[in-house]
Structure 1
Amino acid sequence: MKATLLLFLFYALFSYKVDAQTKGIHEENYLTLGGIEQWVTIHGEDKTKPIVLFLHGGPGSTMSQYDDAMYGSWKNDFVLVYWDQRGAGRTFGKNAPDSVTEDYWMENPLTLEQMTKDGIELSEYLIKHLGQKKTMLVGTSWGSILGAKMALTRPDLYAAYVGHSQVVNHAEGFKNAFQKVSILAQQANDQEALTQLQALGLPPYEDARKAGQLMRIIKKYEKLQAVPAPSTWWKVRQEYDNEKDAQDRYNGDDYSFLYSAGHKKMGIKSMMAGVDFMKDGLIFQVPVTFIQGEVDILTAPELTRAYYEKVKAPKKDFVLVPGAAHGHNQAVIDAQYVAVKKLLKVR
């Protein structure tokens, strides 16, 4: 009797392990998207669960190198996909020469149109590869531009779209951020920042370095007002913690930022300069949710709210997160989780 019971328990445990291995998915590969190899990771405890495709910000700020501190618990409910976009992280490293020069930057432009096509091609792959009907898009900052473009272009591929720190009109948003930090610097009697702001003048700029200087001031004042994310979130995974990956992330970030901001002397046009969803992004054919940090300076709540009010979609929602700025913190992750489950009707 005891032997029979032990045998039963052995087979039950073995069957459980086999089932878990069969249902789970843990893939990290280069996929050919838009004619080049791009780095994509796919992880979930059950590959039949809904797909969530994360679109990182920056545009060079990849997410694949971090451990699961931010979204790890989501793997029980979803299949999580991280993508090092064209010009970023391992995708940059795979396609760039060993020695990256200004000539390479100028001869290999990044465009919103091409990156939108890349994202759509990835979405088609994921749906076919995982045997599902659609995927969910979650885009942050620059990723919100890309995500909105993808959802607007091919709504048939997406169950819903969640835009976090949604960019509406890049030029207007950057001007608004300049004016906000100018007021905050005056209130703080921050002479260093005031001197820098006076020297920069009101955007737009024709020099990427000026955009970078303004971004540093914006981040400084957002940090003073926001609840920070745990430092453990930014721990680089062991397999990415090496000199080559670090250099590729650094070079890719520089390259992507140049095409984000634009740099006239090098003939580089900003791929964000013409973004204005108030003109061409008001009608979605998929449900949308906008998650907005209450103390976000770069993509101000009032601008996102005004956009939300004009958007037409099968279903829409606006979530204002107290204590959150432009980036992530625990409250933002929690709001995203609730939004995604609600949109997908996952219990």
Structure 2
Amino acid sequence: MIATIAATSAAALLVTPAVAALGHRALRRSRNASLMKITTRNGIDEQGFVRIGGIEQWISIRGEDRTNPVVLELHGGPGASTAIFGPRTRSWEKHFTIVRWDMRGTLKTLGRSGPEGAGEMTFDRVHRDAIEVTDHIRTRLAVDKVVLLAHSYGSAFGLRLARAFPERYSAYVGTDQNIHDAGRDDSVHQALLARLRAGGKRKELAAVEALHPDERRWTPRERAMHAKLLATSDPLTLGTMKKTVMGSLWLSPLHSLRELRLFLKGMAVSEPVAQATAGCDDWADGTGFELPFFVFQGEKDVLTSPALARRFFDDVQAPVKGFALIEDCSHFAAFRRPERFLELLLTHVRPLVAREPAGTTSA
């Protein structure tokens, strides 16, 4: 979903005048590296490759106290690693052990294997990888269950994992929550048409109007064009992509200049993964979950509709559930306002998974 606009933003970074840009980058990366240091006695800071699904895949485990609840993130894209946001989410690691995984075809995992060695790039293959990663983390950290935190396209995996394996996960948290309904809801598409008309974007409007009414029949190129226009037609989303996403990639102490290009390449390599969900129906798959279920969504998200996420949430049956909108945010709400997201985790999720007195959830 974000590959095309990310490529545009990152390309601008890569052609920025070298001396000034690289000097500023080195200084900021050094500061971020200092920020990322974990020095607590019972902390953990591990990054490396683990054999998952027959290939070496990159996994990071970080936190200030190993007794904290473990959170496994599923990144979006597909192919858009969340490891780039480490400095922005450093405060999360005081309260949780955060596990970040570059899926096959993504960033550091892609750098290790190359496109030819990425293996089967399908939804089912990555889904099986996610189960294997979950079990690896449970064994490595000696925990029965982990919190499943799914971002954007990662939430397509997240819903299926949470529904099928409540014995592995202590809670589900979706953000930038994707809801697939076999194409019944076209509100995101209609809102795009309205923005293009209001902005006088005649060429872009004609291209969108020419698309087949059933988005399940769009080609990958048409889907990419639509996703680009969703983001570029909305100033809040475009600004977040440039500053929060590309800015984080540029200043990440964990990523080299070569890996800026790998970030883009990974989303291209991972495009086939998304094709499998074009006709999916999350309602038909089931709204019953045997674990606490939460959705924390950007209130102005133009890519993954808050209204559609709320409709699905309202139909969910779960032991505990909570829904919250993150103010002044479109997509990437958790990373645009990481302290607000942490507040929601501490209020609604951690008391349940850490066996502490539970706060009040919104419904």
* TM-score, structure 1 as length reference: 0.81
- Report the Cα offset of residue 228 of structure 1: 3.8
Residues 1:60 and 2:79 aligned together: yes
Q: Distance in 2 between matches of 1:160 and 1:167?
A: 17
Amino acid across the alignment from 1:344: R
Q: Distance in 2 between matches of 1:308 and 1:209?
A: 31
Amino acid across the alignment from 2:224: G
User: Using a 3 Å threshold, how does the CA distance of structure 1 residues 67 and 336 change in structure 2: closer, same or farther?
Assistant: closer
- Report the Cα offset of residue 147 of structure 1: 1.3
For structure 2, the 5+ residue unaligned runs are 1-37, 357-363
Look up the SS of the partner of 2:157 in the other structure. Answer: helix
Residues 1:44 and 2:49 aligned together: no
Look up the match of 2:228.
216
Residues 1:251 and 2:262 aligned together: no
Look up the match of 1:317.
322
Q: Is the 8 A contact 2:171 2:292 kept in 1?
A: yes
User: Using a 3 Å threshold, how does the CA distance of structure 1 residues 233 and 239 change in structure 2: closer, same or farther?
Assistant: closer
Amino acid across the alignment from 1:82: R
Q: Distance in 2 between matches of 1:333 and 1:275?
A: 30
Look up the match of 2:14.
none
- Give the alignment partner of residue 76 of structure 1, picking from 91, 94, 106: 94
Residues 1:291 and 2:296 aligned together: yes
| Greater CA drift, 145-154 or 184-193 | 184-193
For structure 1, the 5+ residue unaligned runs are 1-18, 261-269
User: Using a 3 Å threshold, how does the CA distance of structure 1 residues 21 and 183 change in structure 2: closer, same or farther?
Assistant: closer
Amino acid across the alignment from 2:273: Y
Q: Is the 8 A contact 1:51 1:136 kept in 2?
A: yes
Look up the SS of the partner of 1:132 in the other structure. Answer: coil
Q: Distance in 1 between matches of 2:113 and 2:237?
A: 39
Q: Distance in 1 between matches of 2:181 and 2:114?
A: 28
Look up the SS of the partner of 2:183 in the other structure. Answer: helix
* TM-score, structure 2 as length reference: 0.78
Look up the SS of the partner of 1:204 in the other structure. Answer: helix
User: Using a 3 Å threshold, how does the CA distance of structure 1 residues 173 and 136 change in structure 2: closer, same or farther?
Assistant: farther
Q: Is the 8 A contact 2:183 2:216 kept in 1?
A: no
Q: Distance in 2 between matches of 1:259 and 1:33?
A: 17
Look up the SS of the partner of 2:147 in the other structure. Answer: strand
- Report the Cα offset of residue 237 of structure 1: 2.5
User: Using a 3 Å threshold, how does the CA distance of structure 1 residues 189 and 247 change in structure 2: closer, same or farther?
Assistant: closer
Amino acid across the alignment from 1:339: L
Residues 1:235 and 2:250 aligned together: yes
User: Using a 3 Å threshold, how does the CA distance of structure 1 residues 259 and 169 change in structure 2: closer, same or farther?
Assistant: same
Look up the match of 1:168.
179
Residues 1:32 and 2:43 aligned together: no
User: Using a 3 Å threshold, how does the CA distance of structure 1 residues 226 and 87 change in structure 2: closer, same or farther?
Assistant: closer
Residues 1:126 and 2:141 aligned together: no
Q: Distance in 1 between matches of 2:338 and 2:156?
A: 19
Look up the SS of the partner of 2:216 in the other structure. Answer: coil
| Rg comparison, structure with higher value | 1
User: Using a 3 Å threshold, how does the CA distance of structure 1 residues 320 and 128 change in structure 2: closer, same or farther?
Assistant: same
User: Using a 3 Å threshold, how does the CA distance of structure 1 residues 141 and 225 change in structure 2: closer, same or farther?
Assistant: closer
User: Using a 3 Å threshold, how does the CA distance of structure 1 residues 148 and 328 change in structure 2: closer, same or farther?
Assistant: same
| Greater CA drift, 273-282 or 133-142 | 273-282
User: Using a 3 Å threshold, how does the CA distance of structure 1 residues 318 and 239 change in structure 2: closer, same or farther?
Assistant: closer
Amino acid across the alignment from 2:109: T
Identity of aligned residues (%): 27
Q: Distance in 2 between matches of 1:166 and 1:300?
A: 8
Look up the SS of the partner of 1:185 in the other structure. Answer: helix
Q: Distance in 2 between matches of 1:119 and 1:87?
A: 14
User: Using a 3 Å threshold, how does the CA distance of structure 1 residues 91 and 165 change in structure 2: closer, same or farther?
Assistant: same
Aligned residues: 311
How big is each residue's C-alpha offset from its partner over 1:100-148, in whole Å with a ceiling of 9 and x where there is no partner? 6xxx89xx44222222221121111112211222111111111111111
